[in-house]
Amino acid sequence: MAFEIIESCVNCYACEPLCPNQAIYAASPHFMIAEEKCTECIGDHIDAQCVSICPIEGAILDEMGVALNAPGSLTGIPPELLAKIDQQGTAAVL
């Protein structure tokens, strides 16, 4: 039972001090979660703390590899538009 931070993390430090288990650490090229320490916050908080403050959609995954903050869920940008921008760059919205 553990979450994972992936390369889209922007190293903003926001999650690190919130973890009740000190599972999160600064690393290169991005922050990491120590698998053996992460409890998904169960027993400490209703919501997983790292997931609740992370500003980057898709930077934290659950055990199944699913993004805990889905595309568009934090910025409000429609996911279809995000997908289009991913493919064609910002020219897609001009």
**Interacting residues toward ligand SF4 by CB under 6 A:** 3, 5, 9-15, 18-21, 23-24, 31, 33, 38-41, 48-50, 53-54, 56, 59-60
Structure letter (DSSP) for residue 26: -
Amino acid identity of residue 55, one-letter, is P
Task: Of 75, 77, 93, 73, give the one whose Cα is nearest residue 85.
Answer: 93
- Bridge partners (DSSP) of residue 25 are 32
The nearest distance, CB 35 to another protein, in angstroms, is 23
61 binds another protein (CB under 8 A): no
SS3 state of residue 34: coil
The nearest distance, CB 16 to ligand SF4, in angstroms, is 7
Structural Rg of the chain based on CA atoms: 14
* Contact footprint for another protein (CB under 8 A): 10-14, 17-18, 45-47, 49, 52-53, 55-56, 74-77, 81, 85, 90, 93-94
